[in-house]
Structure 1
């Protein structure tokens, strides 16, 4: 018998350590070559570690939530061959990044977008080739047992690689179908104790830091979006092969058109250095919900994009965030964030600022209500109008209430008279 020490390999430039976010083996388990050992999380990605040998696990590095240094022993495996305790890391196969989770940002309300959802994007599960019902399902015994325990028919799961179903495919199946009403057959839910680790811990830390350091204040105004919605419908009726517009690209255009008058809002505050940087370009953060937690992909130079370009970029970034393929630079560097619950609605929101930014804007649900409107002859009449509340939270250290209110009033003017967007 021999001993194989699997050391945590270098999984990214500048990475000195990684956090254990999931164990797939425990002491005494038999593991096959290429079998899953653990999921390790860095600031840039969650990486799946696979065993380079077959054997029995005789020790593991720690518990979920522990941090392991690069080069340290992660798993020790007893093998049939000769001892190889001094095997260098280079003999271990390169890990595969299965989800990007760079700089998750603490925003409590989201745009409706496990390993790893703004604009609506089809689930990643749908993009895979379906397994024909008559085809033989390829899966390891461990995957088959897990599927059996969960009550999942493997014929319904779409494989990610060469027709072979892996644990990650089961994760994707569960993530997609839980929203469609999937429940494990015959299983009743009991109490759960969930350790706060990985991205969820980073989100918790960032949110706590934002609330601890930033004195928030919020301002909410009601806007009549009837004319803006009519413009959106006209655009969509004549869009040709362009993507269908949601309300978000129109609102982003309104925000970008208004921000030059209020540079204190498109800014970042370094409170340690005592410096506020006001940005000319609008790098707009877009809060998005993903199975791994909240992410904020960034629309670069949003002020320079037209409606169709914004729609395409929103869809692309939302899908990348959900699939875990967003690059590190696409998840950092925002100067202002927009967060929306979309059709989930809400009368008003008080979103948490994406530190070190100084403001966050939250459009709310559109509702129809009767309103008094001028009839053009000095009188008024009652009409059914479409209304939306716009919320903004600001850092009161650098943004005054007058500034926030004035900005939203300027936004309201453009929303209610969208023809003014063409004035320049």
Structure 2
């Protein structure tokens, strides 16, 4: 019999770590090759890992909710044959983000030096890893540590964002922070210094070598003063920026969950963690209702509704007509800045032409009501979006150029035969565009199911990257919020976007008679470099004709 160690593979675009969502096996189980072992989540992708061999599980490394390093041992097997590891070999400790130059023993608790005394030990510089998609830089979203903090291996030290992915970076070593390289909102180069440590044993930088760029918190990795005598390593990760003492957060005694120095975090998806940070909520005090106490979006809503976040003492007693003074400045960083940059790039690069037409939706509404009363239990309830989606698909047959991507730098227009329909959606993580692929091949029920699936995945953070990219034309629907007209911004590099507004009963003239009809304004924008005003009008008028005579939507 041999020993086989299955290590965590790169489960998405070069990420350095992933979250263990759950196990499908336990120690002692006999598994077959290809059998599902565990669920792993990275960014917005949930992946089922399968066994590369047949054998008996002898060890399972990690607990649900734990961040695991890519390349670290995940499952150990006893297998027929030689295996891939020596029988006496001990599984290496998981290296986080960037591995140390050589294996080292578990570091004892590190104590900061007394006040005015330099921090002793070797120098270790943790460099920013490639956090996804091979990008050359990423945005520093926030720090979880400060200069002088003693941290444990695997403790969260910073949040890094690239595109729509927020990654929590953990410390690869135990030691004392002597320098932080960067400020929240700053773009950092992959491979550049992020945090400098003093560590026990051998570091990865010569003692005389400078710690590269000056720190935002200290100008250089000079001796750090404790300011209050010696201190031992904290038994829990430092509180996140903006989170106060638990006793001050309201309901402080309701939940007494403690985080260990090994960073045993509450179970929650990356989307829930990001939303909690946006709300200023410390997850360790939020009761979870999911499996194994997993915290979900509904738990955050309940926690906020209970008033646990606290409120302004003066809010209820202030006069209705009291004068307001002062200003509030908010740095636009993280996902909101990514959205802002994308919108600005689209407006800057694309000369928009906006066209609005009113459409009589009475027939569509009557057909929709009929289909909803006759649907089977397996069929979803229809809203208006599947009908608008179908009208776009049919209208594109006559004007395929509108279903294109335009590379303005290369001067190349790529026209797509398939219609991959983007659905602009507001999520707890910000504006996203999940994609309904091959909308041309879907009936109204299938379209409704797929819209609900990808939109739901975007909102709960489980959408895979290919479900959030590759759209060829986009719908941005504000109808549920009301509004008569809006001017949608094209989702670059597409050349068109369609935006339905609310459906409302209006008095209109039909066949010489004043009648009440269900009317909707359809707003749309086009890239004027590719789509002339005439062609834009023809396209929208075609959609209008199809929706006003919905039987033609599914005719040959």
Q: TM-score range by the shorter chain?
A: 0.7 to 0.9
Q: Distance in 1 between matches of 2:125 and 2:333?
A: 25
Deviation, structure 1 residue 63: 0.7
Gap change, CA 1:310 and 1:70, over 3 Å in 2 = same
1:411 aligns with 2:543: yes
Gap change, CA 1:179 and 1:297, over 3 Å in 2 = farther
Gap change, CA 1:206 and 1:10, over 3 Å in 2 = closer
Q: Residue 193 of structure 2 aligns with which residue?
A: 73
1:216 aligns with 2:388: no
Q: Residue 399 of structure 2 aligns with which residue?
A: 262
Aligned pair partner of 1:203 in 339, 344, 347: 339
Q: Distance in 1 between matches of 2:503 and 2:363?
A: 13
Say what the alpha-carbon RMSD is for the aligned residues: 3.5
Aligned pair partner of 1:274 in 393, 408, 411: 411
Deviation, structure 1 residue 154: 6.6
Q: Residue 184 of structure 1 aligns with which residue?
A: 309
Q: Residue 330 of structure 1 aligns with which residue?
A: 467
Deviation, structure 1 residue 23: 1.2
Q: Distance in 1 between matches of 2:401 and 2:185?
A: 39
Q: Residue 84 of structure 1 aligns with which residue?
A: 203
Deviation, structure 1 residue 52: 4.4
Q: Distance in 2 between matches of 1:59 and 1:420?
A: 67
Deviation, structure 1 residue 330: 2.2
**Could you list the per-position Cα deviations for residues 204-231 of structure 1 after superposition, in whole angstroms to 9, with x for gaps in the alignment?**
2222222222221111111111110111
Q: Residue 179 of structure 2 aligns with which residue?
A: 59
Q: Residue 107 of structure 1 aligns with which residue?
A: none
Higher-RCO chain (CA-CA 8 Å, sequence separation at least 6): 1
Q: Residue 158 of structure 1 aligns with which residue?
A: 288
Deviation, structure 1 residue 260: 0.8
User: Secondary structure at the residue paired with 2:402?
Assistant: coil
Q: Residue 38 of structure 1 aligns with which residue?
A: 158
Q: Distance in 2 between matches of 1:218 and 1:415?
A: 20
Q: Distance in 1 between matches of 2:164 and 2:189?
A: 15
When the two structures are superposed, what TM-score results if normalisation uses the length of structure 1?
Answer: 0.75
Structure 1: runs of 5 or more not aligned: 88-133
Aligned pair partner of 1:237 in 350, 358, 373: 373
Structure 2: runs of 5 or more not aligned: 1-119, 207-252, 267-275, 316-325
User: Secondary structure at the residue paired with 1:249?
Assistant: helix
Q: Residue 525 of structure 2 aligns with which residue?
A: 393
User: Secondary structure at the residue paired with 1:57?
Assistant: strand
Q: Distance in 1 between matches of 2:121 and 2:360?
A: 73
Contact 1:137 1:164 survives alignment (8 Å)? no
User: Secondary structure at the residue paired with 1:221?
Assistant: strand
Q: Residue 138 of structure 1 aligns with which residue?
A: 257
Which segment is superposed worse, 221-230 or 68-77?
68-77
Q: Which has the higher helix share?
A: 1
Gap change, CA 1:199 and 1:164, over 3 Å in 2 = closer
Aligned pair partner of 1:305 in 436, 442, 462: 442
Q: Distance in 2 between matches of 1:210 and 1:164?
A: 39
1:368 aligns with 2:505: yes
User: Secondary structure at the residue paired with 1:25?
Assistant: coil
Deviation, structure 1 residue 275: 2.9
Q: Distance in 2 between matches of 1:336 and 1:179?
A: 37
Which segment is superposed worse, 197-206 or 337-346?
197-206
Rg (Cα) greater in structure: 2
1:288 aligns with 2:425: yes
Gap change, CA 1:155 and 1:27, over 3 Å in 2 = closer
Deviation, structure 1 residue 83: 4.6
Q: Residue 226 of structure 1 aligns with which residue?
A: 362
Q: Distance in 1 between matches of 2:345 and 2:519?
A: 34
Deviation, structure 1 residue 363: 0.3
When the two structures are superposed, what TM-score results if normalisation uses the length of structure 2?
Answer: 0.58
Q: Residue 269 of structure 2 aligns with which residue?
A: none
Gap change, CA 1:177 and 1:346, over 3 Å in 2 = farther
- Aligned residues, how many? 365
Contact 1:138 1:163 survives alignment (8 Å)? no
Which segment is superposed worse, 203-212 or 50-59?
50-59
